[in-house]
Amino acid sequence: MPQSDVLLALLTFNLGVEAGQLLFVAAVLILFWAVRNRLSIAATPARLAAGLAIGAMSMVWLIERLSSFASGA
């Protein structure tokens, strides 16, 4: 690739990645909205469960990263 095209290629790649992330978030929000309208689940327990799941996954990733730093990998 010519040096003059690197900046444009990097810019369009990053814009594509961001657009993909926005589409994914929009799809998840639509899915959550559809499920919430179909099921009569109380919002508070569902939010609590989602928060606990996110927190648990965060702790797993944190421990994995800390252990990789400790082992020097």
Average predicted confidence (pLDDT) for the chain: 88
| pLDDT one-digit tens code per residue, 51-65 | 999 999 999 999 999
* Dist CA 54 CA 30 (whole Å): 19
CA–CA dist 55, 22 (Å, integer): 23
d(CA 29, CA 54): 16
For residue 31, pLDDT beyond 90: yes
Q: Does 63 or 69 have the greater pLDDT score?
A: 63
Q: Are 31 and 39 in contact (CB under 8 A)?
A: no
Query: What band does 71 get if pLDDT is binned at 50, 70 and 90?
Result: confident
* Residue extents of the structural domains in the chain: 1-40, 42-73
Task: Indicate the pTM of the whole model.
Answer: 0.51
Residue 9 structure tokens: 């290629």
